[in-house]
């Protein structure tokens, strides 16, 4: 994971203009993405890092 983008096949989040976080989480069929607890923890950690960096 680099500092500004986190993604896998169905989930992507990124920082735009150092001012906002964008999250897209849908399958190729338009369904909601299902996350494991480990994936959710990884995403939460990335979000916290961005909040600390850009706040």
Instruction: Give the confidence band of 4 by pLDDT, cuts at 50, 70, 90.
Output: confident
Report CA-CA distances (Å) from 24 to 29, 36, 55: 13, 17, 21
Express each pLDDT in 17-53 by its tens digit: 999 999 999 998 999 999 999 999 999 999 999 999 9
Beta bridge partners of 14: 5, 22
CB-CB contact of 55 with 21 (8 Å) = no
Say what the pLDDT of residue 1 is.
45
Say what the pLDDT of residue 3 is.
60
CB-CB contact of 51 with 16 (8 Å) = no
């Amino acid at each position: 994971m680099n500092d500004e983008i986190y993604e896998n096949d169905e989930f992507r989040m990124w920082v735009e203009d150092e001012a906002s976080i964008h999250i897209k989480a849908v399958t190729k069929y338009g369904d909601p993405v299902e996350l494991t607890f480990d994936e959710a923890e990884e995403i939460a950690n990335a979000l916290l890092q961005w909040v600390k960096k850009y706040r």
